[in-house]
Amino acid sequence: MKILEAGFVQGFIRMCNDGWEQGWHERNGGNLTYRVKKEEAEAVKEELRTDGEWHEIGTSIPLLAGEYFLVTGSGKYFRNVILEPEDSLAIVELDEKGEKYRICWGLVNGGKPTSELPSHLMNHEVKMTATGGKHRVIYHAHPTNVIALTFVLPLKDEVFTRELWEMATECPVVFPDGIGVVGWMVPGGRDIAVATSELMKQYDVAIWAHHGMFASGEDFDLTFGLMHTVEKSAEILVKVLSIRPDKLQTILPQNFRDLAVDFKVTLPEKFLYEK
Ligand code: 2HA
Ligand code: ZN
């Protein structure tokens, strides 16, 4: 099968374009990676090069040894992915120790995988373990309203989770485990990767203060939908705070507990504090 015709590649391209159309990917902002299934890699094997040079990842991810990932390229624009996927994307393979990668397809005009590769791969490892292999997608975007909130809300998991839950009834059902928050850090390196992957042990979403958001999910629909839901909720909160800083009414802790029963989700009590 031709790589560009494969379902996982088409889904990946569509998600990049959806993110661009949402306005979450100015210039080369954001990155997306997908842990390719064995049978998907097998189906496109003829087009995968095996003579690429090995490069250091910059961190060690032993549980992902030998896995293939479809990734966006460093410095590439989400806006261009749909037009020239072979220029913007790459399939990489990890070595048998999970310390190096090589390019097997894509980046035809040169380049490297996303600058956030260490964060993505460490998060893949954490989420693969936490979900028994179900999670395959890690998505980083720069959604405007979430970023705006990191200037005015305390950078605490409890505050972001509760405030965003309150903005839309579906939120606690879509992200019942809550949201983690990382204070401002230098992007691209191992430190931010470690901080984020620590949070991703318990959450599917992490916010990077004054920068953007990370989301993890089983497939493209769920992961894009998660990012979209959190950002939509942040947009409502920005509007509410702009109209008047104190809410006249909201969803109360007991409302959340009632919702949890009917929708069969567990909502940690640490988010249901009295204000
Ligand atoms: O430019 O978003 O965090 C890519 C990024 C880095
Ligand atoms: Zn970024």
On the question of pLDDT at 43 being above 90, the answer is: yes
What integer is the mean pLDDT of 13-29?
98
**Is ligand 1 within 6 A of the CB of residue 187?**
yes
Q: Is residue 30 part of a domain?
A: yes
| Beta pairing, strands 137-141 & 89-94 | unpaired
Question: Could you tell me if 67 and 188 lie in one domain?
Answer: no
Q: Is residue 247 part of a domain?
A: yes
Q: Which atom of ligand 1 is nearest to the CA of 141?
A: 2
Q: Is residue 122 part of a domain?
A: no
Question: Could you tell me if 99 and 5 lie in one domain?
Answer: yes
Q: Confidence class of residue 108 from pLDDT cuts 50, 70 and 90?
A: very high
What integer is the mean pLDDT of 113-142?
97
> Ligand 1, residues 114, 138, 191, 227: which to mutate, most atoms within 8 A of Cβ?
114
Question: Could you tell me if 45 and 173 lie in one domain?
Answer: no
CATH code of residue 273: 3.40.225.10
On the question of pLDDT at 189 being above 90, the answer is: no
Q: Confidence class of residue 245 from pLDDT cuts 50, 70 and 90?
A: confident
Q: Is residue 271 part of a domain?
A: yes
Question: Could you tell me if 258 and 197 lie in one domain?
Answer: yes
Give the number of domains in the chain.
2
Ligand 2 centroid – CA 25 distance (Å):
9
**Is ligand 1 within 6 A of the CB of residue 31?**
yes
Q: Is 116 a catalytic residue?
A: yes
Question: Could you tell me if 89 and 166 lie in one domain?
Answer: no
Q: Is residue 137 part of a domain?
A: no
**Range(s) of the domain holding residue 173:** 142-275
What integer is the mean pLDDT of 236-242?
98
Q: Is residue 126 part of a domain?
A: no
Question: Could you tell me if 148 and 275 lie in one domain?
Answer: yes
Long-range contacts of 80-88 (CB under 8 A, 24+ apart): 81/13, 81/16, 81/17, 81/20, 82/13, 82/14, 82/16, 82/17, 85/4, 85/9, 85/13, 86/4, 88/16
d(CA 4, CA 6): 6
Question: Could you tell me if 186 and 110 lie in one domain?
Answer: no
Residues 6 or more apart from 33 whose CB is under 8 A from it?
69, 70, 71, 72, 114, 117, 120, 121, 124, 137, 138
Last residue of a domain, one of 100, 115, 130: 115
Last residue of a domain, one of 99, 115, 131: 115
Last residue of a domain, one of 115, 131, 159: 115
Question: Could you tell me if 70 and 198 lie in one domain?
Answer: no
Question: Model-level pTM greater than 0.75?
Answer: yes
Question: Could you tell me if 88 and 178 lie in one domain?
Answer: no
Q: Confidence class of residue 90 from pLDDT cuts 50, 70 and 90?
A: very high
Ligand 2 centroid – CA 142 distance (Å):
6
Question: Could you tell me if 91 and 153 lie in one domain?
Answer: no
What integer is the mean pLDDT of 244-253?
96
- Asked if 55 contacts 100 with a C-beta cutoff of 8 angstroms, the reply is yes
**Is ligand 1 within 6 A of the CB of residue 178?**
no
Q: Is residue 128 part of a domain?
A: no
Q: Is residue 130 part of a domain?
A: no
pLDDT in tens, 148-170: 999 999 999 999 999 999 999 99
**Is ligand 1 within 6 A of the CB of residue 74?**
no
Question: Could you tell me if 77 and 202 lie in one domain?
Answer: no
Question: Could you tell me if 216 and 275 lie in one domain?
Answer: yes
- Nearest ligand to the C-alpha atom of residue 116: 1
- Nearest ligand to the C-alpha atom of residue 210: 2
d(CA 165, CA 251): 8
Catalytic, out of 40, 116, 231, 235: 116
